Structures are given as structure tokens and as C-alpha cells.
Amino acid sequence: MRVTAIRRTVLTASAVSLALLVTACGGSEQGGEDKEAKGGAKSEKPVAKALAADELEKLVVAKGDVEGHEITEPGKDDVFEPDALSSVEKAECKPVAQVLSALPAGEPAASAQRLVVEEPEGAKKDMPLTEELADMTEKEAEEAMLDSLDITKTMTSLWSYDADGAEQTLATLREAGKKCAGGFAMTIDGEKQQVTKVSEEKLSAGEDAVAWTVGTKQGAAADTKVVVFRQGTTLAGFSSFNIAAITRGEAFELPTAVIDAQAAKLG
């Protein structure tokens, strides 16, 4: 909470008018104290409150909010438990590891999540049937299967904090991204994983935002798009991957349609 400092005016007068000055100052000081008390009460802003879980449920993206996307509540296999992140090599990198894994950074008072799946034209093809694969060359079969997996999945999260918690958490995330740009090791759900890079992306969303491409290696190399933006006391987090792009070693874009839709709902 910020308290406005009130500066008092220093009065000077000659010795001849001292008695009059004392009388004047007595009344003025009392009025000044009243004004200070009233002014202080007016200038002190109430502590910002976190949104409750039911409020976040109304604000998180829902079915029909993003054209061409399927939006569902994540199942147990889609999300990590809060204690799944058992170790991070560098303490300062833990916030990055958390949002990469769609876990909240800091200590939010409430949260809500949705799984958002985009299906581009190539992904509308069903997985080839066995008999269809038999008529294809090995290369054709591989490409057909990858086309069916050309789907960007985004775990979208809302985390709400009391006071300036959201602002401070985002500032910590930004600093962590800079300090951990060269990578770090982490263990999530019992599996060791090497983060190879945390590269900054350009993005404008909400009142403030951070966006990265996070490279990981757990056998094969993979990139994940990670975005967190702030709107008031709430942070919106996005962790996205595309299986086909990962397999082909291709880049994929930030999920801007999902981010824009969530930003619009948060106002």
C-alpha cells in the first residue's frame, strides 16, 4: 500500500507579530491535521483483492471463445500436480520451470485452467488406417501420420493474487527468464529434463507480459511457447507445443488467437 506523504509549510514571521502567529498557527494546525487525516484516508487505496476461483472460472476461455479451437477442462493426464516439480538446478530458474509446466509461479489465491487445441487444415485428416498405410511408401506414411498430429495444444491458466502479487510475480518471471537464458536442469513428475534455452519473444498483451520459446531436451529436442501476461491482480499463463513441429524440427507460432481471446475476457 502506498501512503501519500504530506508536506507541511514552514511559516516565518517577525517577533512583533509572534502572539498573533501562534494563535493563527494553532487553528491552522488543527485544520491541517483534520485535512491530513481526511486526505490520508482518501489517498490510501484499498488493498487489491485476488479474484475467487468461481470468478476465474467465468473469465477463463471457454467453448466458442476461440474460432477453430476446441476448449475443454484438462484431465488428470493433461496437468501436473503442484508438487510434481521436485527439483530445479538453479533456484532462480524455478519460476520459469513452473510456468513451462503450466504450474503457477508465486502463491496465487485461486486458479483456473483449460486445454485449448487448435486444428489447422492438415490436422483435419484422420490418422491413416492400417490398410491405407500399406499402400504408402514409408515417407508418405510418416508424413500422413505427422499431418494428423499437426495440432498445437495450449494449456491456458489463470492465477489470481492479492495486493501486488501478480505484478511482483511477473517481474520475478521476467528476471528469471534473463538469468536462465542459457538453460538449466529440472525434474518434473520424476523425469529429468534439460532446458537448453529461454529465448525472449515479442508480444504485447494485458498490462504487461513476458513471452519465450523454451527449448528442452529429454531424449529428443523440443520447443515450448510460454507466455504470461498480467491484467490487474490476475496472471494469464500459456504453455504450448506442437507434436508435428517438434518431430519435424520446425518452428511454430505463439498461440496469439488464444492469447487475444483470453485478454479480451479479462478486459
Annotated domain spans of the chain = 1-46, 53-266
C-alpha 125/C-alpha 145 separation (Å) is 9
- Answer whether residue 52 shows pLDDT above 60: yes
CB within 8 A of 162, min separation 6: which ones? Answer: 47, 48, 49, 50, 109, 233
Q: Give the distance, in angstroms, between the CA of residue 240 and the centroid of all CA atoms in the same chain.
A: 12
Query: What pLDDT, on a 0 to 100 scale, did the predictor assign at position 12?
Result: 31
Q: Bigger pLDDT: 122 or 257?
A: 257
Query: What pLDDT, on a 0 to 100 scale, did the predictor assign at position 218?
Result: 84
DSSP 181-194: TT-EEEEETTEEEE
Nearest to 233 by CA among 47, 44, 49: 49
pTM for the whole structure: 0.77
Paired residues of 131 in beta bridges: none
- Percentage of residues in the chain with pLDDT exceeding 90? 64
- Answer whether residue 147 shows pLDDT above 80: no
C-alpha 57/C-alpha 115 separation (Å) is 13
Mean of pLDDT values over 162-191? 97
Mean of pLDDT values over 87-115? 97
Do 106 and 172 meet the contact criterion of CB atoms below 8 Å apart? yes
- CATH number, span 53-266: 3.40.1000.70
C-alpha cell at 64: 466458442
Nearest to 239 by CA among 254, 252, 251: 254
- Answer whether residue 13 shows pLDDT above 70: no
User: What single DSSP character describes residue 60?
Assistant: S
Query: What pLDDT, on a 0 to 100 scale, did the predictor assign at position 47?
Result: 79
C-alpha cell at 239: 504453455
